[in-house]
């Protein structure tokens, strides 16, 4: 459900009170982050419908201002649909580099409060302020001060939920939007959760919602009142955790959640693709993007996932545990090739979107990666590090692997073509890792 719908659903928030005793978990979520960053240099557009996203035939909405959301526009919506719903909106293409820069500034301010935080995405994070209470005041005071500093020093707006568990804090920040702070007292967790629709719980997608609806479970109260063992049998391994979340119980900690951090990339093709060679090449391109980001963060992936979306929007996910953590593009791609080929053989429909996700991240220095006996003198990782050095100096388009430079992409996406001005390195073979 949309945040707008969730904000209007379930209970009187004012009746919860403001007792933040024991509520040391904060969930911070930047309001319309991508749009807000763009409006810093376009203040004349404040208060008007603004959409950030691609304008091409397959372009999608990355972010929408609250004024655009009033017309039903939301993230991940096809841009053609968004423009139809809100033709007066100003559409802005995403700015490269700006979002990460502002994200670093925001999380730098969080780090001045406490080191106990987990960055979930570029605009969202969990914060455990237990160690900062004696120094900075109550959890709600800390949250209010952090919101004020973010606004003053970046010009951006954050909403914060304050609670005693991660799941309740996340729901609280959503209900606080836009530009709000909501405390859910420990004694009022049930009052907060029970009126909300079950799909408000993180992880409840359309399939789970449909399954629960068949048994008359439509609210969090319905789920909380159901038999725990029945929920576990009906929903599988995830069911017991979901049942606990319906009661506001969450055994995860901020540091445990940090382990869930992942790096991902995906691409929607200009035209649906039914060519295995193109799909394999696009998978390598995605792996190249993800591996570059991993190296920038000093991380290695212990697992990798594939997102495979057909023309009718049916989506399949596959995951693979790697034999050893890696930040090498070719290794990420090769781990997923069997899954890609199996999905290709199993479904006759063309592919609309591919995605690659690196998960189970560890610090590279602690990954224990060792050279193998049959590894060449110049390893694939050394080649990719050389690419990084050139890209960092001259831009991502300056150079690429020879495997990715195979002529124009006839499907109209960013797919297989050489970027303007991009060089092929190393003669015929190049840095073909």
Question: Is 124 among the residues known to form the active site?
Answer: yes
Which own/partner pairs from 366-374 qualify as long-range (CB within 8 Å, at least 24 positions apart)?
A: 367/300, 367/324, 367/325, 367/326, 368/324, 368/325, 369/300, 369/324, 369/325, 369/326, 370/324
What sections of 61-205 are H helices per DSSP? 66-69, 79-85, 98-113, 133-136, 139-154, 166-176, 189-193
123 is in an annotated binding site: yes
The CA distance from 230 to 210, in Å, is 16
Query: What token pair was written down for 357?
Result: 């996700």
Stated as kind and residue range, the H or E segment containing 291 is helix 276-297
β-strand partners of 63: 52
Query: What token pair was written down for 83?
Result: 């423009």
Which DSSP letter does residue 419 get? P
- Residue 58 exposure: Cα atoms within 13 Å on the Cβ side: 16
Stated as kind and residue range, the H or E segment containing 119 is strand 117-121
C-beta of residue 363 within 8 angstroms of C-beta of residue 301: no
392 is in an annotated binding site: no
The CA distance from 182 to 175, in Å, is 8
Active-site option among 67, 112, 124, 365: 124
Q: Which residues sit in the known binding site?
A: 29, 123
Q: List, by residue number, the catalytic residues.
A: 124
Q: Which residues sit in the known binding site for Mg(2+)?
A: 29, 123
């Amino acid at each position: 459900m949309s945040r707008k719908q969730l904000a209007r659903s379930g209970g009187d928030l004012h009746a919860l009170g403001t007792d933040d005793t024991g509520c040391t978990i904060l969930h911070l979520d930047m309001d319309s982050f991508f749009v807000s960053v763009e409006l810093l240099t376009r203040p004349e557009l404040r208060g008007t419908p603004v959409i950030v996203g691609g304008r091409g035939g397959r372009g999608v909405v990355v972010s929408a201002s609250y004024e655009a959301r009033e017309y039903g526009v939301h993230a991940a919506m096809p841009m053609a649909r968004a423009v139809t719903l809100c033709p007066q909106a100003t559409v802005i293409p995403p700015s490269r580099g700006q979002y990460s820069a502002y994200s670093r500034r925001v999380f730098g301010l969080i780090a001045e409060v406490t080191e106990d935080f987990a960055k979930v995405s570029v605009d969202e994070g969990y914060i455990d302020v237990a160690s900062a209470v004696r120094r900075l005041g109550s959890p709600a005071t800390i949250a209010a001060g952090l919101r004020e500093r973010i606004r003053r020093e970046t010009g951006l707006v954050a909403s914060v939920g304050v609670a005693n568990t991660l799941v309740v804090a996340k729901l609280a920040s959503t209900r606080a939007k836009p530009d709000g702070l909501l405390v859910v007292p420990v004694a009022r967790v049930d009052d907060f959760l029970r009126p909300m629709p079950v799909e408000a719980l993180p992880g409840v997608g359309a399939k789970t919602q449909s399954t629960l609806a068949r048994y008359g479970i439509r609210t969090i109260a319905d789920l909380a009142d159901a038999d725990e063992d029945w929920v576990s049998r009906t929903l599988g391994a995830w069911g017991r955790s979901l049942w606990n979340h319906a009661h506001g119980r969450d055994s995860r900690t901020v540091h445990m959640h940090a382990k869930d951090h992942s790096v991902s990339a995906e691409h929607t093709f200009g035209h649906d693709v039914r060519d295995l060679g193109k799909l394999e090449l696009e998978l390598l391109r995605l792996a190249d993007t993800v591996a570059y980001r991993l190296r920038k963060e000093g991380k290695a992936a212990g697992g990798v996932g594939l997102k495979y979306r057909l023309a009718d929007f049916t989506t399949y996910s596959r995951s693979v545990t790697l034999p050893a953590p890696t930040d090498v593009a070719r290794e990420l791609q090769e781990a997923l090739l069997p899954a890609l080929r199996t999905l290709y053989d199993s479904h006759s429909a063309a592919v609309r979107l591919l995605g690659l996700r690196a998960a189970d991240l560890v610090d590279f220095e602690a990954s224990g990666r060792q050279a193998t006996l049959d590894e060449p003198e110049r390893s694939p990782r050394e080649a990719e590090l050389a690419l990084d050095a050139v890209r960092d100096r001259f831009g991502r388009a300056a150079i690429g692997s020879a495997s990715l430079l195979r002529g124009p992409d006839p499907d109209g996406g960013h797919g297989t073509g050489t970027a303007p001005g991009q060089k092929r390195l190393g003669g015929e073979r190049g840095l073909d890792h």
